Structure 1
Amino acid sequence: MNSTPTTFKQIFGQKLENETTINGIEIPIIQRDYAQGRNTTDVTRIRNRFINVLYKALTGSADDAVKLDFIYGNIEDEKLIPLDGQQRLTTLFLLHWYVAKSENIATEDYSFLNNFTYKTRFSSQHFCDKLVNCSPDFEQEKLSTWIKDQNWFMYSWENDPTVKAMLVVIDDLHKAFKKETNLWKKLTEGLEMPISFYFLALEEMGVTDSLYIKMNSRGKPLTPFEHFKAEFEKTIKEVSLAQYEEFIKKVDIDWIDMFWKYRSENNEIDEEFMRFYRFITEMICYEQNIPIINNDFDLSAKVYGIQNSNAQNNLQFLFNAFDSWRETENIGEFFNNIFSKNEPEPNKVLLYTETVNLFSMCCHNYGKTSGKRRQFSFINTFLMYAVQLYLIHRNDISVEAFIKRLRIVRNLALNSQDETRETKLTGLLQDVKNIILEEKIELNSLGFNELQKQQELDKILWRKKHPELEVCLNNLEDQKLLQGNIAIIGLDNTEKFQMLATNFIKLFNGDIHYKEISKALLTVGDYTQFVTWRVLFGNHTDSSWRELFTPSQKRRGFEKTKEVLSLLLDTKDVDLKSYITNLIDDYRNNENTIKNWRYYFIKYPNMRAGKSGVFNWYNDPSRKKENQYDMYMMNTAHALSGRHWNPFLYEVFQNENFKTKTTLEEYGALIILNEKNQKLASKNDGWYIYDFEDNLIQRIEIAQENGNDTEDRIDIITHFLTSYLN
């Protein structure tokens, strides 16, 4: 097999070992069209790089010389019929033509160009003949314009993709070389060979024509993935020949086979491969503070290219990542063994989702967005990175230790929403790495939420001291409203921990309506929390309760919520549903119950009808509910510009006896007494009736003691309106 480098000119007249002489090059009909002149983004980038390499090779030093890898082909009637290398050979043909014509080289010196032709179409063949025999005007800015103006140029050629591509490349060669001279000798003579390649005949390789036909039968342009792979191979080869050989050995067999199960609907794995490649590459970027760019070609050069001093290590991490999944016998089963979906399972980490195969999700969704939302979320990114680190280092980490560390990562990820954003991913991913590889939690790092990190450190020590309660703690962590943050129960009361945790899980398992739980809590005390001027209650949604049970610097009153909840849970009653019902009934029926705002919220359901579970106490500058009966019930959670009502007025309006006789609009409006043409207002000390010029007509005072009602103000206004409106 001939492995001696040769030049484009030297291939003409070259004698092979079997005494066959090559006198021409013919691109066969079965080959696809010349593609390097296409004007797509990917091809333009590749073409510009290739021409730049050729330019440096011809105008630079000996160190810039380039070898264009192997070109394979059959020899028929003393013509080389290329199997692989058509694109490079065509570009070299155009380069030799350009230099010969621009330097007025004698015809006999470039006559070999007449022996290069295309058989794909007659028009391509005819164009090559005419091109070799013309004399272009090199003063033109675009040679293609001059060529198309010649009387020998046929209009139909503009529909030939090969001819169109050649014209594009000719223009780009003109841009690159128009100021250069004395290139012909460097290109065609001497031993330096600035541009060369290896040629292998199929006969010497023992390859049959059937393989030739099979490899060329599709006649399609290279896919973006194939373009990338070719460029990436060159990038790796510049860094490490050993890693280059490893890559080309694995990429088309070991790794591609691994992705086949996750192929797209059109039975291709290109995008899936690239999404996983992109995931690993971006993880490296975040770790090494490499700016992330969208262009895969340029990013690969930054991360894995020769200019990066960590290139070999980065390539090894990439290879290890691919290998780790190839070595995982059943990827789906692997994820099912470490994660549970919607219900806790022993020795697994609950994900609260229907899908746990993060590798599959990564291959299909990484980098995709829906609006501004990442389809492969930050939380999935943290968990996938954690799993990836484990797989690479699984010889050093036991499965049991990994599950425990993965649980910590999940807890931190789910409880660091305020800290999770693109600009902080370097610190967040470093936290993941520290936890998975060393079970180390850095409190002062720029990563996950510090309160949650302190809680995870406390749990590690607590589990060691109380191994008998570890399962109970894990079950509490997995509860859907807590999702890893157990601060609302805490670890300070070890004696009652099991009872409090067990009752919490039973109470919030869905059997009891959230509104009833809220009423039961209010019988114990004020469990609400302030967010500036807004007051948060547990409503009918999971999110409202999760917010209350998760400490945050944005809210005030978490410790009070914890205290009230602990008192409610401090019971040995097995039937929690009856326990809750009895608490509420006893509170409402007790003559000694103080008629504060909590009394009304428990007794009258319409006062809690707002969808948000958020209230605003007005005339309350110190945020203590001082004027406790002055409030708005908010239907939207964040602003009074949304729909809201005074809940006492809303309760009155919902009375069936008054609905046809009164009107209550939104946005804090007063009740209109229709036939009276008057307005009813609820204030801290009683009820007020105004005319439509806001003149006070009547005041119904409510008796109070120590700021609390001593009589039920709803009963009083109900009796009053029954007679007043009639």
Structure 2
Amino acid sequence: MKNNKMTFLTLLNNYHLIEIPALQRDFAFGREDTKTKEKRIKFIKSIKNILVSDEEILHLDFIYGKTIDHQIFVPLDGQQRLTMLFLIHLYIAKQNNDVQTFERLRRFSYNTRMSSRDFCHKLIDEHWVNDNIFKQPWFYSNWKKDSTIRGMVQFIISLQDELFGIDFSMATERLERITFTFLDVDNLGSPEELYIKMNSRGKPLSDWDILKSEIIENAEDKEAVGLWLDQNFTDFMFKINSKTYEVDESNRFEGILYRFFKNIIELEEINQSKKGNNIDIITVFNNAKSLIEFIKNKEEEIEKDLIENQFIVESSIKDLLDILIKEKDLESSEKELLNIYYHFAIYKKPLNKDDMVNLVQCLRIIRNIQESYRNQNDIMIESIKGMTKAINSGNILEYFKSTDLKDLKFGSHSAEQVAEERLKAKLITENNEIAKTIYEIEKHPYLSGMIGFLLLLAAKDAKSLSEIEYTIHLEKQLKYTYQLFKSRFNENGIINKKDMLRLIHKYNILLSDHFPHNNGDIAENMLRDKSWKKFFRKVISDDEQYLNAMRTLLFEEKQQDNFMNENEELKFKWFILSENLIEIIGKIKEKYYDGKDYLAGIDWSQNRFTSKIYDIPLYAIYLRNKHYLEDDTYWLNKEGKSYLAVKESNIIITYNYKDNVFIVKDGKEDRLVSSIEKLENIIRNA
């Protein structure tokens, strides 16, 4: 069995005829159901990226089949992909009137129905490139009954829509960057016999059957390799897979076996920088075998080291096993985790104690980084190579501590976490006690390794992570700060939302200036755990104001009160200018205004958040300064609507946003009041 990376035109050059056999199914990629249409458009857009770029590469996986008389290639798998490539090359050749390519494309034909074969010939001979094929005089009406022809026409229509207006002058050359892995299966009988050949579970040959045959054929000891694949490898994959499969679902398990080796091939391409070139299949087999033996032999030792070091990644072995049996393509973060184990299994044999320490530190660091950023598959190769470079250093903590880490790029927000890991590496290598504290905090399920903001809070004078140095004070303050954090947050986020609302009421000005905003009210934002995680990240990625807000708001109420008392100008920098409160809030922002009463408030705009939550609380501040109200007289219900209770009375005040009026409830009737003067009289006389 021969295995080569190949392009469509190269395949045509190598054979007198490429013939889709009668046993193959109709061309299905042109079906008009929603799911198929989405796949078709996605594929054509990936082709478009090839046509408009000099850098894009697209690989279409395996295409295998049988050669007859050294002249005719009969595909047994990949008919859909070959048909799409035929139509794409033909469409571009028509755009450029490329006669030479027309002649090469005549070597592609269908042996399913005579109508399909004739239609392919007509597509080459006739003019249609920007027209409706169904309306062409050469198109026979009974061809519409051929599902393959209908599918081809629909695919061409999608090409016409998606590729409209692009420059086709370099298109044929750029199509050479679309490749597939070509397998020519020899000496296995006639095409029909091979296609219907049944394996032990009564199924047609699968991708796994073909790949396994290739591995065995290229092995020196074919019997030993075949035995390992059929017994050791299969048993291991069954053991780690908790799923059970029905008899007619055995192809799903074979898909897992095939995908495992496919992931190993991809890692080899990345690590060897050979994307687009052949990877030796026996090297892939040997490395896959080493990885599995490594997991079987080192699983308990790795788990023991993770637990002894109190790392956050106790479940990383389970995470790895889940990756090995995943039925879908891996996310970039999963490939990065797999690459760490793969690297230690292949390139660090035999592992000594220092290697094991380095391995668990690698797992800890990559887990922290992955928790803090969004997966970005477009930089997956770069991130894996960067992490591999760190692993190759022999001591990842020293590497993080002493290098610029410019090679470590994982995606959005990863730069902040990389900087945090650099600081933690420095602290961990300098003092064992603070190392234990760092490991303990990283294990908090709400933080998941992102603790940079706590380090900043613990540092006395530092304004950024780069300014932090180890001191006894830092060690003690970090423990204290963590205890304060745990009093506010558990694994699910905010422990006491009522208490958090009280903070919002009391310090709404400070919160409004510093808390990450959506278009909703600040209380709603502050009760969303996701917003707090953004806030933690802001503490280490932006300027000092977030750090100050964190210090004053989360932990020490005495410090909070001192802040508010020392910032009267901030507290009263917004004021009432007219009788319509809703028109005032956020519209005027001045330090002082002679002759007017000052009112705390916020700067309101559509891009930040609405002022709905502030009308009554701000008015309460105003009234307290008039000595009409006691401190705790306003609150929010769970819908976020604010209320004001007048002391020693039954009066409740809310606000109607639609009509811009206060609603006064006294248990008898509701009164609508638009004048602040009238409202003050009601409160004064209550």
TM-score (norm 1): 0.48
Q: CA deviation at 1:423?
A: 0.7
In structure 2, the residue matched to 1:230 is: 209
1:545 lines up with 2:523 in the alignment: no
State the shift of 1:255 in Å: 0.9
Give the letter aligned to residue 545 of structure 2: K
Cα offsets for 1:193-216 (capped at 9, x unmatched): x998599xxxxxxxxxxxxxxx98
Q: 1:54/1:495 Cα in 2 relative to 1: closer, same or farther (>3 Å)?
A: same
Structure 1 gaps, min length 5:
1-34, 61-65, 67-86, 88-137, 146-193, 200-214, 292-301, 303-307, 340-344, 369-375, 570-575, 601-615, 681-688, 690-697, 701-716
Aligned length: 444
The residue correspondences of 1:17-56 to structure 2 (distance < 5 A) are 37-39=23-25, 49-51=64-66, 53-55=67-69
Cα-to-partner distance string for 1:355-394 (whole Å, 9 max, x where unaligned): 86023321443526xxxxxxx6544443233233223335
2:479 to 484, 493, 502: 502
Match in the other structure for 1:415: 372
Q: Is the 8 A contact 2:368 2:449 kept in 1?
A: yes
Decide which of 235, 244, 256 is 1:272's aligned counterpart: 256
Q: CA deviation at 1:421?
A: 0.7
Specify the code of the residue in structure 2 equivalent to 1:37.
L
Q: How many Å apart are 1:454 and its aligned residue?
A: 3.2
Q: Percent identity?
A: 13
2:241 paired with 1:253:
no
- Pairs within 5 Å for 1:85-164: 141=114
Pick the aligned partner of 1:385 from 333, 336, 339.
339
Compared CA separation, residues 380 and 665, structure 1 to 2 (3 A): farther
Q: Secondary structure at the match of 2:228?
A: helix
**Could you tell me whether the CA contact under 8 Å between 1:352 and 1:480 is conserved in 2?**
no
The residue aligned with 1:529 is 514
Report the Cα distance in structure 2 between the residues aligned to 1:560 and 1:255, rounded to whole angstroms.
Answer: 56
For the Cα contact (< 8 Å) 1:289–1:426, is it kept in 2?
Answer: no
Aligned residue identity for 2:312: L
Residue of structure 1 in register with 2:357 after alignment: 400
Cα distance, 1:515 vs. partner? 6.3
> Distance in 2 between the 1:472 and 1:503 partners?
11
1:663-714 superposed Cα distances (whole Å, 9 cap, x missing partner): 534589553458897554xxxxxxxx2xxxxxxxx559xxxxxxxxxxxxxx
Matches of 1:671 and 1:499 in 2, distance apart? 51
- 1:461 matched to 2:426? The reply is yes
Structure 2 counterpart of 1:39, which letter? R
Once the two structures are TM-superposed, the CA of residue 258 in structure 1 deviates from its matched residue by 0.8
Q: Say if 2:496 is the partner of 1:513.
A: yes
Q: Indicate how the Cα distance of structure 1 residues 638 and 582 shifts in structure 2: closer, same or farther if over 3 A, else same.
A: same
Q: 1:36 to 1:642 in 2, by over 3 A?
A: farther
Residues 434 and 543 of structure 1: CA distance in aligned 2, closer, same or farther (over 3 Å): same
The whole-number CA distance in structure 2 between the counterparts of 1:262 and 1:285 is 26
1:320 aligns with 2:320: no
Aligned residue for 1:162? none
Q: Distance in 2 between matches of 1:36 and 1:348?
A: 62
Matches of residues 274-673 of structure 1 in structure 2 within 5 Å? 274-286=258-270, 308-309=277-278, 311-312=279-280, 315-317=282-284, 319-329=286-296, 333=300, 336-337=303-304, 345-351=307-313, 357-365=318-326, 367=328, 378-392=332-346, 393-396=348-351, 398-417=355-374, 420-438=375-393, 439=396, 440-441=399-400, 443-445=405-407, 447-448=409-410, 449-488=414-453, 489-490=455-456, 491-492=468-469, 494-510=471-487, 513=496, 516=499, 526=510, 529=514, 539-551=526-538, 556-557=542-543, 559-563=544-548, 619=588, 629-631=600-602, 640=609, 646=615, 647-648=617-618, 651=634, 654-655=643-644, 664-665=655-656, 670-672=661-663
What secondary structure does 1:631 align onto? coil
1:477 is displaced (CA, Å) by: 3.2
Say whether 1:722 aligns with 2:683. yes
Q: Do the aligned partners of residues 58 and 357 (structure 1) sit closer, same or farther apart at CA in structure 2, a change above 3 Å counting?
A: same
Cα contact 1:531–1:556 (8 A) shared by 2 = no
Deviation at 1:470? 1.8
Provide the C-alpha distance between the structure 1 equivalents of 2:406 and 2:529, rounded to a whole number of angstroms: 31
Q: 1:425 to 1:621 in 2, by over 3 A?
A: farther
SS of alignment partner, residue 203 of structure 2: coil
Could you report, residue by residue, the CA deviation over 1:90-109 in whole angstroms, capped at 9, with x for unpaired residues?
A: xxxxxxxxxxxxxxxxxxxx
Q: What is the Cα deviation at residue 443 of structure 1? A: 2.3
Q: Which has the larger radius of gyration?
A: 1
Please say if residues 617 and 628 of structure 1, whose CA atoms lie closer than 8 Å, have aligned partners that are also in contact.
Answer: no
What's the offset of the Cα at 1:259? 0.8
Listed as ranges, the gaps of 5+ residues in structure 2 are 1-20, 29-59, 77-110, 119-183, 190-196, 457-467, 489-494, 574-584, 592-597, 621-633, 636-641
In 1, Cα distance between equivalents of 2:421 and 2:371: 13
Secondary structure (helix, strand or coil) at the match of 2:237 reads helix
**C-alpha distance in structure 1 between counterparts of 2:257 and 2:420, whole Å:** 38
CA-based RMSD: 5.5
Amino acid at match of 2:236: M
Query: Residue 209 of structure 2 aligns to which amino acid in structure 1?
Result: A
**What aligned pairs does 1:52-91 form with structure 2 within 5 A after superposition?**
53-55=67-69, 57-58=70-71
Instruction: Return the offset for 1:37.
Output: 2.3
2:291 partner amino acid: S
Contact 2:655/2:662, CA 8 A, preserved across alignment:
yes
Q: Secondary structure at the match of 1:722?
A: helix
Cα 1:381–1:451 change in 2 (3 A) is same
Q: Alignment partner of 1:328: what SS? A: helix
The SS at the match of 1:654 is strand
Output the amino acid matched with 1:497. L
Give the partner amino acid of 1:321.
A
Structure 1 counterpart of 2:203: 221
Structure with higher helix content? 2
